[in-house]
Structure 1
Amino acid sequence: MAKSVRVPPRWVVRTAWAIHRGIYRVTGGRRGLWPPRPGRWGALRLTTTGRRSGQPRSVILAYFEEGPDLVLMSMNGWGEGEPAWQLNLAANPEATVEFRRGSRQVRARTATGEEHTRLWARWATIDKDLDGYAQKRTTPTVVIVLEPR
């Protein structure tokens, strides 16, 4: 059974996101993105196509690498509901990711079955509180795989 975790108030999560995006913008992308390291996640910038607007929408997300694929956790900052970027990928799975040094075109898909179980377990080695955070949500937590195009 997962241990009980405390989720920060929504305003704290949203403020942290705004600060992170601000650092990325102010430094022209020199800060705010980093590669994953053993036992740690990295940060990338994902640009999707808005499902209603058709306009580019960007967000900074945690990830780890699984061979050539990038693995994301769709938890909406531990809040309820699916994040907009996940809904955008469901409508149009073609996207772009930016790293500290370069970018890549990707195609998104949802991990299912054994793959979901395996990738979830790998996330849990990086974030020891993952199961506790997931239990706080009534919305299922989706694992997204970004494959190179």
Structure 2
Amino acid sequence: MIGERLVQRVSATRGFAQVAPHVIPALDRAVHRLSGGRMLLSDRMLPGVILTSTGARSGRPRRTPLACMPSGDGWFLVGSNFGRAGHPAWTYNLLHRPDAEISWKGRDIQVTARLLDGPERTDAWQRLLEFWPPYAAYQKRVDRQIRIFSLTRR
């Protein structure tokens, strides 16, 4: 689909990486709140969740809209940070406190997050690249291995 390819091409650019983190999460939070938790604006590009994790240092709840890839009875979350330097804060939160909650299609679901590594990460990464090719551009721009988490229901 030409529209999908255009969106993927634009989202792989450095300009998108500079603007999107300041715009998309705020819009997603607003649409999520106004729709009673049933929608995210970014669902037009990728499926998404609102992750509620516990702050690694603060211990406070942190709500973060994120793209996800459904996988069986769980989800993959990718700490791409839009291809910017540094791991996103939510990944540190999940590393320190893996029990979290997601809002998925209007339902709140208790989950446990697990950082993938080794062959399991390699397999997931290949599936994620087929699902959303711009992840490859994000990985090329950063000096770190992008974190991938598997979320399973508790």
The alignment's TM-score, normalised by the length of structure 2, stands at 0.82
1:19-98 equivalences under 5 Å are 19-32=27-40, 41-98=46-103
Aligned length: 142
2:28 alignment partner, SS class = helix
- Is 1:34–1:44's contact at 8 Å kept on the other side of the alignment? no
**Once the 2 structures are TM-superposed, how far is the Cα of residue 33 of structure 1 from its aligned partner?**
7.2
8 A Cα contact 2:73 2:152, kept in partner: yes
User: Aligned letter for 1:146?
Assistant: L
Judge conservation of contact 2:82–2:138 (CA < 8 Å) in 1. Answer: no
Which ranges of structure 2 fall in alignment gaps of 5 or more residues? 1-11
1-side partners of 2:147 and 2:28: how far apart? 23
Equivalent of 1:6, from 13, 17, 31? 13
- Displacement of 1:138: 1.1
- Structure 1 length-normalised TM: 0.84
- One-letter identity of the residue aligned with 1:112: D
Hey, what's the Cα distance between the residues in 2 that align with 1:130 and 1:52? 28
Q: SS of 2:49's equivalent?
A: strand
Query: How far apart, in 1, do the equivalents of 2:149 and 2:54 lie?
Result: 16
- Offset of residue 26 of structure 1: 2.8
Computed over aligned residues only, the root mean square deviation of the Cα atoms, in angstroms, reads 2.2
The question of whether the paired residues in 2 share the 8 Å contact of 1:21 and 1:60 is answered with yes
Q: Give 1:34 deviation, angstroms.
A: 8.6
Partner of 1:134: 139
Query: Structure 1, unaligned stretches of length 5 or more?
Result: none
The 4+ residue runs of structure 1 with deviation greater than 3 A are: none
Partners in 1 of 2:72 and 2:42 — Cα distance? 17
Identity of aligned residues (%): 29
More helix by share: 2
Q: How far apart in 1 are the matches of 2:17 and 2:103?
A: 29
Residue identity in the other structure for 2:13: R
